[in-house]
Chain A
């Protein structure tokens, strides 16, 4: 079967790849582009660790058919750092011990970024709702919620 040519923007850079029919975006990002920041968790939409932003909207890359993102803009955790500096959310996650094993962290950070891009000063309930599609088995969520609230409050870089 022939491969399908596919072009899209990946963290602000144009990329062109060839995918097999039915390939999901997560596989395209990891295996064809080499961006290992989105993780494979459940493959069912239950865990959220493959979360990426498509045209600024939070999506699950493992449930996204790669060819549907032609011409669109994909943001992953790899594009979050600002030059040599961590993004305020990443800094807050480190300061608040919001990552233990780290497997959920890429998805948590993208879900948090998606929230703060729309709502720079969310309530605690809004933070809980924003990460409700992301499973963490280590932290018990409290440090993650606190980190996101701290990043929103601008205290993370202090």
Chain B
């Protein structure tokens, strides 16, 4: 079935077209929408594109980093100032997928994908979407909780604060195929340490629930303590709390629950 493709020069026109047509979907890098079209998804009758340079802008010089929704993972990897995001960007697809897939699209990628979003969730990112009157900022956690209802929303950019130090932010994707493969589980942890104590721990998990989630019990186990064997063990044993992983070809729900604490312990203690 032929699909109507509407291309606009500005993001605001594209946002208007999306909000006026419930069946329209936004076309970013194509790795989600074309895949659905190739599978014969008849629910998509209109795709909307925007060739707006604002969507591909990277602001990475200061402490606050902003990535346009249309920035590809290859561009993240080419940006020296975005070193803290290189591990999550590199963990996605092969080179061709990284040349196509975008930061904004990753927010919508279902399991076993969406690894970059796990990193953004641990970094407490803000998602900027086009609203009726200009742009609106939504905390990433709130955005993900309402993701199913966001298909008509145009994401403009994501922004986050650069981690205070290299050690404060850690990321690990567990895949069966190396160096590429869908996620069995994905973990990201932001553990800023101030005066020897962890202040503001955020741990995010991918493939442990229908969307990327925070491991709040594990965060509580770390908060206000020093990052040592005892606090890491407490966080690891609390890692499954609140999770609801599913079975798929890459791993069973049981297996995911078994390994998430093990990998969280390794991630926090700096083991490979």
Contacts and interface: CB of A to CB of B under 8 A. Distances in A.
Contact of B100 (A20, A59, A132): A59
A143 interface: no
Contacts, number: 86
A24 B36 CA distance: 12
A150 B191 CA distance: 45
B180 interface: yes
B135 interface: no
Interface stretch (A7-15, A29-37, A42-50, A89-97): A42-50
A133 B180 contact: yes
Contact of A64 (B7, B30, B47): B30
Main SS at interface, chain B:
mixed
Interface string A28-69: 000000000000000111001001000001111011110110
B93 interface: yes
Interface string A125-154: 000111111100000000000000000000
Given A21-B5, A22-B2, A134-B94, A44 B35 contact: yes
Given A111-B96, A130-B95, A63 B5 contact: no
A114 interface: yes
A132 B94 contact: yes
B95 A65 contact: no
B94 to A, nearest CB: 2
A133 B95 CA distance: 6
Nearest to B27: A65
Contacts of B100: 45, 59-60, 63-64
Nearest to B39: A43
B35 A111 contact: no
A65 B34 contact: yes
A1 interface: yes
Chain A, interface SS category = mixed
B97 interface: yes
Contacts of A59: 96, 99-100
Given A21-B2, A21-B4, A132-B94, A63 B35 contact: yes
Contacts of A130: 95
A44 B38 CA distance: 8
Contacts of B34: 24, 62-65
Contacts of A57: 74, 99
B34 to A, nearest CB: 4
Contact of B180 (A1, A24, A132): A132
Contact of A133 (B7, B30, B96): B96
A55 B158 CA distance: 27
B50 to A, nearest CB: 12
B43 interface: no
A11 B95 CA distance: 21
Contacts of A45: 31, 35, 93, 96-97, 100
Contact of B95 (A4, A63, A68, A114): A114
Interface in A96-121: 111, 114-115
Contact of A48 (B2, B5, B96): B96
B106 to A, nearest CB: 13
Interface of A: 1, 4, 20-22, 24, 43-45, 48, 51, 57-60, 62-65, 67-68, 111, 114-115, 128-134
Interface of B: 1-5, 7, 27, 30-31, 34-35, 37-39, 47, 49, 74, 93-97, 99-100, 179-180
The 8 closest A-B pairs by CB, nearest first: A133-B94, A22-B3, A43-B38, A132-B180, A63-B34, A20-B2, A132-B94, A1-B2
Given A48-B96, A60-B97, 16 more contacts: A1-B4, A21-B3, A22-B2, A22-B5, A24-B38, A45-B35, A45-B96, A59-B96, A60-B96, A62-B38, A64-B30, A64-B100, A65-B34, A128-B179, A132-B94, A132-B180
